[in-house]
Amino acid sequence: MSEAAEVKGRLRLRLFPRAETAVRGGHPWVFADSIKSQNREGKTGELAVIYDKRDRFFAVGMYEAESPIRVRILHCGKPADIGREWWQQKARECLEKRQGDVLKEGTDGARMINGESEGFPGLVADKYADTLVVKVYAAGWLVRWEEIEAVLREVFSPRYLVLRMSRNIVNFAEGLGLEEGFRGELGDEIVVFSENEIRFESAVLKGQKTGFFLDQRDNRARVELLAKGREVLNVFSFSGGFSLYAARGGAKSVTDLDISGHALESAGRNFSLNAHDERISGVKRRAVQADAFAWLEESGEKFDLIVVDPPSLAKREAEKEGALRAYGRLNSRAVAMLNEGGILLAASCSAHVSEEEFFRLVEEAAECSGRRWKELWRSGHAADHPANFREARYLKALCIEFN
Ligand code: SAH
């Protein structure tokens, strides 16, 4: 905020010391109970200026009157003007980071904006070919939606733009006359895009997340390199992402296992979309619709490479213990189903389960098998999913080879 913009009536806050320190250290959330005082009640979407204990400006954020995360920090440091030019600059930085690295020939799907870690707290934007899907988790964005939409269109030049939002802000949006769906020109509900020259569909209006799990791209590519000659089981396969890469990598067979018929149908269509690739059309493929927990206990089958990438098993801190047990059980079963020389790729997308906890329990599953094993690699967030604070780091994967 420039001094000139320091208008009377601006919402001003002071924080308790611990929260002040956390914000200075780069943490982007201020919880309601961290606010020591404020000059008046705030309105969702307005800018809140945060002063330190010596009464100097030190941060500015977006206020959320109804959320336990009461302020999402936009900027910490010297006063700055937060307006259209600010957003343009931030969005351009996001685009530049992806050009040539993530977005390249053969890849026109990627996350373009990853929330807090890229200056847009509570907002992600995923690009699938000509369609930009913007998912909003913080009501404040809806208050300034016209401006933000204009900036995103200008910077990312999508032909179609879809607005999606988390359940808890749908009512607020309605009050502003905003709803989920295409903005402006209507595009297809199912968009076909490419990732490393493999074509996939994304259900941009109704699908999980923004329609596809872009976050696993690098792990899928790693699986391609390991799949040659192997019988592959893709547990929690969703639309078959890992299986298509495994097939292209020369897998002998791929088995997609998911509880959802829609997910398996989508996987089938993804295989058809890539029928021009003989390794993909030529692979022996099977779809199993079942509860993964039960099927892994009962099937008695053996494989050479098993990917276990479940949905988040701990959506809340309270679910963490149960999630740890579930990860342990799933991965122990998967290890028992591996042939000699088999490979396990165990992934977790639960932010409440830390990397250390997850890696330890997968290692325990390996140790308890009594077999010799070695780690091939471990991974975290891909370049288009940067995560610069603890709560944002949800994805981790460990790949192990057994004798
Ligand atoms: N690995 C996928 C993403 C997995 S998303 C990818 O890379 O694209 C989680 C998937 O787990 C969803 O498709 C969901 O239908 C499925 N799922 C959820 N609970 C399940 C269960 N108990 N058994 C089998 N599949 C389940």
* pLDDT tens digits for range 122-135: 999 999 999 999 99
Mean pLDDT, rounded, of the chain: 96
Residue 100 is predicted with a pLDDT of 86
Task: Using the mean position of ligand 1's atoms as its centre, give its distance from the Cα of residue 126 in Å.
Answer: 20
pLDDT > 70? residue 166:
yes
Residue 243 is predicted with a pLDDT of 98
Residue 9 is predicted with a pLDDT of 85
> How confident is the model over 183-198, as pLDDT tens digits?
999 999 999 999 999 9
Closest-lying ligand 1 atom to the alpha carbon of residue 309: 1
Task: Using the mean position of ligand 1's atoms as its centre, give its distance from the Cα of residue 308 in Å.
Answer: 9
pTM beyond 0.85: yes
pLDDT > 90? residue 314:
no
CA gap 392, 70 in Å, rounded: 17
> Average of pLDDT values for 268-297?
98
Residue 7 is predicted with a pLDDT of 59
Q: Whose CA is nearest to atom 11 of ligand 1?
A: 236
Residue 6 is predicted with a pLDDT of 54
Q: Whose CA is nearest to atom 15 of ligand 1?
A: 260
Residue 311 is predicted with a pLDDT of 95
Residue 4 is predicted with a pLDDT of 39
Percentage of the chain lying above the pLDDT 90 cut: 95
Pocket mutation for ligand 1, best pick of 219, 258, 291, 295 (most atoms within 8 Å of C-beta):
258
Pocket mutation for ligand 1, best pick of 200, 236, 266, 269 (most atoms within 8 Å of C-beta):
236
> Average of pLDDT values for 238-246?
98
Closest-lying ligand 1 atom to the alpha carbon of residue 307: 1
| 353 to 244, 321, 379: CA distances (angstroms) | 28, 9, 15
- Domains, the chain: 11-76 (2.30.130.10), 84-194 (3.30.750.80), 213-402 (3.40.50.150)
- For the chain, give the number of residues: 403
Task: Using the mean position of ligand 1's atoms as its centre, give its distance from the Cα of residue 4 in Å.
Answer: 52
> Average of pLDDT values for 279-299?
97
pLDDT band at 2 (very low <50, low <70, confident <90, very high): very low
Pocket mutation for ligand 1, best pick of 238, 306, 333, 394 (most atoms within 8 Å of C-beta):
238
Percentage of the chain lying above the pLDDT 70 cut: 98
Q: Whose CA is nearest to atom 22 of ligand 1?
A: 291
> How confident is the model over 342-364, as pLDDT tens digits?
999 999 999 999 999 999 999 99
Q: Whose CA is nearest to atom 12 of ligand 1?
A: 238
27-36, 50-59, 130-139 — which is least confidently predicted? Answer: 50-59
Task: Using the mean position of ligand 1's atoms as its centre, give its distance from the Cα of residue 66 in Å.
Answer: 32
Pocket of ligand 1 (CB under 6 A): 213, 216, 236, 238-239, 241-242, 258-260, 263, 291-293, 309, 311
